[in-house]
Structure formats: structure tokens, C-alpha cells
Structure 1
Amino acid sequence: MEKINISEKLRTFDKYWQSKLVSEFNSQSVKITKMKGEFEWHQHETEDEFYLVLKGQLNIEFQKESIILEEGDLFIVPRNTNHRLIAAQDVHLLIIEPKSTLNIDKADKEEIMPRKTKS
């Protein structure tokens, strides 16, 4: 058991649109990311996406509507839902998704995950 300070972890990187793994539980990955600008239209066939806005304002566009998330807002994008993300200013997100989702580098995982201490 180890406490994780998300603010501290966010200070360890500056790149936008790059998820960083901070923890894992029940076959789920807990990640943080920084966003600014637009991300292309996409969908995930087998998984929902959990977003919690930690900083800023995120616009999620869908085919027929859009939703604006403010700091503290949580939203789950259902699987097979075509969407794109737009961040006019800096946005920091907490994301939870299955470990099987392949969108982080091994180096990123090692860089930001809490270190195990020997007992």
C-alpha cells in the first residue's frame, strides 16, 4: 500500500497527449495525461473510457452533440462511441482503463509508477 500524489506525478512530465501510468488495480490501469489542442476522431471497440478532469476544461465531441467537462467532472465514454477530445487550454486528466489497453511506453510506466519498497 502506497499513497500516490497526483499533483507531484503531473509535475514529472510536460508532453501533451501522452498517458502516464501511476497505479494498477483489478486489471485496470490508472493513468494521468496532459492535453492541449485536438485529438482525432476515434472509438474503442472493447472498452469504456473513464475521464476525471483534474485541471482545465475538456470538450468531448460526439457525432451529434458535445459535452464540456470542467475541473472535478467525471465522464465515461461508452465503448463503440465515436468521439474526439478538444482542449483549448491545458487540461490534466485522470483516466482509468483496462491494463490491456496499449497506449503507454514501458519506459513511461517505469518512470512514474510508485517504487516498491522491500519489507
Structure 2
Amino acid sequence: MVAADEGPVRVDSWIWSVRLTKTRSLAATACRAGHVRVNGERVKPAQLVKAGDEVRLFHAGRERIVVVSRLVRKRVGAPVAVECYVDNSPPAPTREMAAAAGVRDRGAGRPTKRDRREMEQLRGRP
């Protein structure tokens, strides 16, 4: 168990360390794309997080909302990672709900801008 309670940690490193993303480069890419917010603000990968910060990550079609409870610099095992944050995320949609939202018929052609916006709204994306 590697704890770094003495100072802040980069947000991309922390997201990877607590196993919210599979790789650190995926975490950094999510930050650059604007899919990571710390206390409501879009952040760059080098943004520092500290205990008590709220981190929102949109990854794999799902929004994760976590509050940092402990800082770690290196990747830790799953049981330890769960202790490093408080998960306030909405429950994951069931497979049936995920499949039903935004499914188009084969051969229906390319969706219009209006169709695309309706599909994104069904999926819960802003």
C-alpha cells in the first residue's frame, strides 16, 4: 500500500492509480478531451488534486462521480483503490436499458443532426 498523504497528486495519475481508467494515457486523454472535471472545472492532466476534491469522469459511456478521500501516487490493488475515494456515481444502466437507448435500424442511413442530439439526450450526455 503506497500512500502519499504529504501533498497533492496529478489528476491523471490519481485516476489511473485508483483504477478508474485502464492506463494513465487514457486518463490524460480524457482530461485533454474535457471529460474530467475537478470541483466543477475542466482540468488538464497536470492539475493537482487533494483530499476532499470531487472528480467527475465521463468514461466508457458512463459518468463516474467520486470524492477523493486518500491520495496515491502509484497504482494500487482494487481493494485498496476503493478505500481512496467515495463513489457518488449514479447506478450503471442495465444492459437492456443501454441497448434500448439510441439504437438505429440497419440501413437507416446516417443520422441527422437532430437524430444525433436526440440519441445523446437519451444516453444522458449533455
Higher helix share: 2
Highest relative contact order (Cα 8 Å, sep 6+), 1 or 2?
A: 1
- Structure label with greater radius of gyration: 2
Q: TM-score range by the shorter chain?
A: under 0.3
Higher strand share: 1
TM-score (norm 1): 0.25
